[in-house]
Structure 1
């Protein structure tokens, strides 16, 4: 009976061991299947696992681990129940203690093995999870890289477009700048035209003011000259009042008759005091022309000198009628060289066409390299102008005029160390003048 019980218990143990073995094998198969399924799923995804599949895989793995833990707990419960169910005697317990110890050892080994396999499975699962996470990170990085490549390509295309648009923009900018410059030039031209017109108006006004000032000065000089002449005449009249009665008088009727017609000239150019390259033209010998082949000073003197008496004004005029060139009008002694220049030679006085008064030593005047004094900055004259030269015999003040206007000659005087004759110098070939020795002058005394 005891033997039957023993064999019955042994059979139950064997069945329990077989059941445990089957359970362990089933657990290993499930772990293997789970691992294979994970590998298959990992291989099938080929690195393109999306977030939902990754979450499902994690959930399935956690479910499998929970199932394995439950099976292990069931196995331990089964061993405990089996131990309680076996109610053997102390002898049987001693006999079976080793067997139970062996069974416990086997169960512990199985548990350790299961734990080790679970740990390995967990490591494998962690590796798979890391692989999945890495693949998922790559998947996330891939769109970023693609976006970066797209941005780079877009930027490159934009750079190419901008590079292509640069010449067009430069042309447009140049055209705009050119238009601005043209507009600015047009505005500047208009402004300059307005300024020129304003300057011309100012110049015209200034010329009028100068002419008025000259006219006032001329009138003042004339008044002064007239006063001095009247004073001299008054003194002369007083000196001769009681001496000799007047034996003659001016024939005013004849004078009036002469003025109404042509009045013979009172002086003319002297053939004997004329340079050989100057031609005296006309019966009155009033026109002088430079016929020389080369440039040079060519001079001629008048026949009658300035009167030495202290009464009245001696005056003559020239009209410039030939080619443009240097002309000098003034007074010179008979000894002046005919190839000399009146005003330049010693003892001469002149008004030059370059706008200078020559021969007057006054404060502030300039000097030539030979020491001759001259005053520059006066009015120039040329073809078509009428210039005059004279002397107030009472004061010895010299007189210069241009086109009927008296020029300022204050403090300019002549000396009478020798007789002074009207003189003109022509420098350029073809130059030509016509003299007027009075009494009908452009300048009205």
Structure 2
């Protein structure tokens, strides 16, 4: 208890980093034990660590097949890690505190503010209540729909279990699935490529988990307020535009590819294109063989994965709002405008600089790790770039190289998943020295740009 109080005195970014690291280590220890594997043997620590990280960081990349390698106990541990990682350990801690009727301290509210990517502590506990209520309601609805659909394919008990596991996994944008236990490992949802119920329910769970809890709360309250915040407008508009763009690119480039969409009927082509576009929102499930996609499609998916989901959501990436702020700022500069304006609101220069900082840090990190992996792994460059970006965006999509990674490669991907879940800026604040206010300013200098 004394140690926990000392940790809470750290800066919010450092508390979040330590909290996620602690959950991952505990999960790794449990997953190494014989009871967690289907053959009742010890799992190598690096694979247990990888699985615990991909679950807690809601990524979905796996070195061993989830459905066939892990026992029911191991799968339940993974499910709990996904829920903890998706909602955030501070959110779950707040839930227990509210159940026990304990007061949420000022320090804890600061950490919650950082965890939910909020600019203010105002109403943060009320938001957490909504987050928990919305998450559990959406997951329950998804579990029921999945269970009904899969009850036609498997015994009712297994259908209910599969429904619960996949509803939690997809809503939290983890993308971890259990279908490998039916004979073909790492198969994901490829056997349901043209199933409208499985596709639509999965996409709805992914989208609702990826737009962020603040946006969900805003949309749910629209009937009373008759207005949406600037943040919600930007998130919904950008998410819609990216999903449509991804669907069009997938459809156009893969229409005649017999290894992906070519052999499907028109409805199947459109559904599969839409699904693959949505899943790049950091979800990790797929209904076509990604390794068989054309390179142009794979590269476009890298761009979508790098952008990722939205702030305050279960997903990673630089976030949709960061991408939009930078894009609008560039357009304003090209047009010679002094202000960056979105939906008739002027954005502060601080927001633009923060968006640029996050993007440059993220891009630098992806480039460096990709270069190192290109040296340590005997794989094609695009596959490595795809894997690295997928880990950073906590997406979980892969071109099939995850199980073949070397120990060094696994460690680097673990680091990328951890960084992607926390955010590069939060991790930099957590590891960096305490901020001190400058006591003076240097004279302004001039430098030629462009």
Q: Which has the larger radius of gyration?
A: 1
Higher relative contact order (CA 8 A, sep 6+): 2
Instruction: Name the structure where strand makes up a greater proportion of residues.
Output: 1
Q: TM-score if structure 1 supplies the norm length?
A: 0.19
Instruction: Name the structure where helix makes up a greater proportion of residues.
Output: 2
